[in-house]
Amino acid sequence: MTNYIKEINADEFQKEVLDKPRAVVDFYSTECPPCEALAAKYDALSEIYGEYITFVKIFRQGNRELAAQLDVTGSPTVIFYKNGEPVGDKLGGGILRSDLMRNLDALLTDEEREAAHAKIIPYETETDVVVLGGGPAGLTAGIYLAQAHVKTILVDTALPGGYVATTHQVSNYPGFIEPQAGMMLSHYMSEQAKANGVEFRAAVEVGNVDLENKTVTVDGVETIKARKMVIATGSRPRPLGLPGEKEYGGNGISYCATCDAKYFEGKEVIVIGGGNSAIEETQFIAKFAKKITIVHQFDHFQANKVAQEELKKLDNVEVLFEHEPREFKKYGSMDMAVVAEDLTTGERKEIRTNGIFVFVGFLPNIEAFGDKLAVDQWGYLTTDAEMETNIPGVYAAGDVKTKAYRQITTAVADGTIAAIAISKKL
């Protein structure tokens, strides 16, 4: 913590925050990864803005009454004050440096802002390996590298954990008899990486990535210069962009049959899509669900003939061809609805169901890397058996790379192979 930051208790809140012309307060907790990610940014920004704005930290669990009064329900929560009144955004979760700066800037005059920004000095950090992405692939690479005494910095645009952190329950990761909360499994992985010495840059904005020179600019100020780079940025479901999709993703809407079909034993589900993955995943879901309705925009499937023939053998699958979803609704736990439009008549109807699966494809997260990396026909990175891409010294691991099956175990395997290959070369 810098000299500009003062740790206070509730009884000093009036004097140290409300009575100051400009103040910022960080409500933090212990054993809180997003609080740790924020602490480094808060420290750095206090050096830049501390001359003009009072920086305060309050331990939330030790000051519960004040936190409740201010409607602070999670850690970290950052609140900005001007003349005793809260102003700007109330920030929480994986807080970005740019969001902090935007709110701090708003408290300053033009001259002060210019003077503050003049204090921002870009700097370079050298490391052996920079890992981009802190899901299972990146964290596993980090664990193996750090254990081989390879200095490793792991950069994630969000908080580490990847998809696992948002997965309700994981029942197929070896080593656990009972299903594990995804959040806990990813927490163990990232704590293991940290305990072994991996340095984290979490919830950061990744700027220029130079694959040839193995440099990555983070938050506009730090350039990480590495000898090798691992890209483990995963993929994301291709969004339909419909109302309700974001809200109920992972909570009524699933993108993974292997993971979630088992929760629909004897239930009804709707599948959106008509390509190979939609049809193959439907066959898997049909082992559990009582009834499946496939909603597909065309008058025939795009899936291969074999998959279509297999589908015909199922007696619990109905198909609504030439229908497109327009909205997703949730009425309660396992009580969802799809508003579907008949493309031939324009008529809309609401179909009630227990759960919705969307299989309209995934997209690899490779936008940050330009177009020099070799990819397969679906845009996933191609590598050799040691996970090295076409650019020497740049490796790819996990869902971002070409492969037949995308699971935690396969991501962890890729991360392992990349890390061992790198350790042997450094």
Ligand X SMILES: Cc1cc2nc3c(=O)[nH]c(=O)nc-3n(C[C@H](O)[C@H](O)[C@H](O)COP(=O)(O)OP(=O)(O)OC[C@H]3O[C@@H](n4cnc5c(N)ncnc54)[C@H](O)[C@@H]3O)c2cc1C
Task: Give the three-class secondary structure for 339.
Answer: strand
Does residue 189 contact residue 164 with C-beta atoms inside 8 Å? yes
The alpha carbons of the chain give a radius of gyration, in whole angstroms, of 24
Give the integer Cα–Cα distance in Å for 13 and 388.
54
Site string for ligand X, 187-206 (x = CB under 6 A): -------------------x
Report if residue 180 touches ligand X, rule: CB under 6 A: no
- Is 59 or 263 the residue whose CB approaches ligand X more closely? 263
Of residues 233-252, those binding ligand X (CB under 6 A): 233-234, 250
* φ, ψ for residue 359, nearest 5 deg: -130, 75
Binding segment toward ligand X, per CB under 6 A, in 21-29, 30-38, 101-109, 226-234 = 226-234
- Is 117 or 246 the residue whose CB approaches ligand X more closely? 246
Counting residues that bind ligand X (by CB under 6 A) gives 35
Report if residue 129 touches ligand X, rule: CB under 6 A: no
Give the integer Cα–Cα distance in Å for 25 and 14.
12
Binding segment toward ligand X, per CB under 6 A, in 8-16, 118-126, 255-263, 338-346 = 255-263
Report if residue 24 touches ligand X, rule: CB under 6 A: no
- Is 50 or 415 the residue whose CB approaches ligand X more closely? 415
Measured from the Cβ of residue 216, the count of other Cβ atoms closer than 10 Å reads: 27
Of residues 205-224, those binding ligand X (CB under 6 A): 206
Long-range contacts of 7-10 (CB under 8 A, 24+ apart): 7/56, 7/57, 7/58, 7/59, 8/56, 8/57, 8/58, 9/58, 9/59, 9/62, 9/63, 10/58, 10/63, 10/65, 10/66
**From candidates 91, 132, 141, 307, binder to ligand X by CB under 6 A:** 132
Binding segment toward ligand X, per CB under 6 A, in 127-135, 141-149, 281-289, 318-326 = 127-135
Give the integer Cα–Cα distance in Å for 382 and 388.
8
**From candidates 146, 307, 375, 408, binder to ligand X by CB under 6 A:** 408
Binding segment toward ligand X, per CB under 6 A, in 25-33, 59-67, 107-115, 164-172 = 164-172
Give the integer Cα–Cα distance in Å for 85 and 104.
14
**Cis peptide bond N-terminal to 174, omega within 30:** no
Of residues 332-371, those binding ligand X (CB under 6 A): 365, 368
What tokens does 161 get? 């954990």
Report if residue 143 touches ligand X, rule: CB under 6 A: no
Shortest distance, position 10 Cβ to ligand X, whole Å: 35
Report if residue 48 touches ligand X, rule: CB under 6 A: no
Give the integer Cα–Cα distance in Å for 112 and 118.
10
Binding segment toward ligand X, per CB under 6 A, in 6-14, 91-99, 100-108, 408-416 = 408-416
Give the integer Cα–Cα distance in Å for 50 and 33.
24
Does residue 57 contact residue 76 with C-beta atoms inside 8 Å? no
Does residue 397 contact residue 230 with C-beta atoms inside 8 Å? yes
Binding segment toward ligand X, per CB under 6 A, in 11-19, 27-35, 41-49, 161-169 = 161-169
Report if residue 229 touches ligand X, rule: CB under 6 A: no
**From candidates 23, 56, 107, 137, binder to ligand X by CB under 6 A:** 137
Binding segment toward ligand X, per CB under 6 A, in 10-18, 23-31, 254-262, 320-328 = 254-262
- Is 368 or 426 the residue whose CB approaches ligand X more closely? 368
Shortest distance, position 157 Cβ to ligand X, whole Å: 4
Shortest distance, position 246 Cβ to ligand X, whole Å: 13
Residue with tokens 């130079």: 210
Give the integer Cα–Cα distance in Å for 385 and 382.
10
Report if residue 133 touches ligand X, rule: CB under 6 A: yes
Report if residue 255 touches ligand X, rule: CB under 6 A: yes
**From candidates 39, 40, 148, 256, binder to ligand X by CB under 6 A:** 256
Give the integer Cα–Cα distance in Å for 262 and 266.
10
Residue with tokens 């792991």: 154
| Binding region for ligand X (CB under 6 A) | 132-138, 155-158, 162-164, 167, 170, 172, 206, 232-234, 250, 254-256, 259, 365, 368, 398-399, 406-409, 411
